[in-house]
Amino acid sequence: MKKLEDICVAYLEGYFYAKITEQLITSKIQSSDLDKLKKTAIECMKDYIEHSYYSTEEKEELKNNYEHWADMTLEGIKQRLRDSNKLHE
């Protein structure tokens, strides 16, 4: 199951970065905007899992963890943005 977890985390991280890249190029990004983005990413993750070719059992296990992965991924991104002085909190 670790491979599926890695895929889901990568999907969420890619989604976050794709959505914030333009703002990062031109200015800092608001922490509250990232929190809103997390909600959208979770909805995309739900859709991704639902339409995947994983077994029903695998889908259920993934559904139990997507919010945790979104939280972990977002915190990692926020920390990297803090470190580069690009996050406005």
Domain boundaries, the chain: 2-88
For residue 70, pLDDT over 80 is answered with yes
| CA–CA gap between residue 4 and residue 58 (Å, rounded) | 8
Residue 2 is predicted with a pLDDT of 66
Q: How does the average pLDDT of the chain come out, rounded? A: 81
pLDDT, mean of residues 11-15: 80
Please state, for a pLDDT cut of 90, what percent of the chain lies above it.
0
pTM: 0.66
For residue 25, pLDDT over 70 is answered with no
Please state, for a pLDDT cut of 70, what percent of the chain lies above it.
92
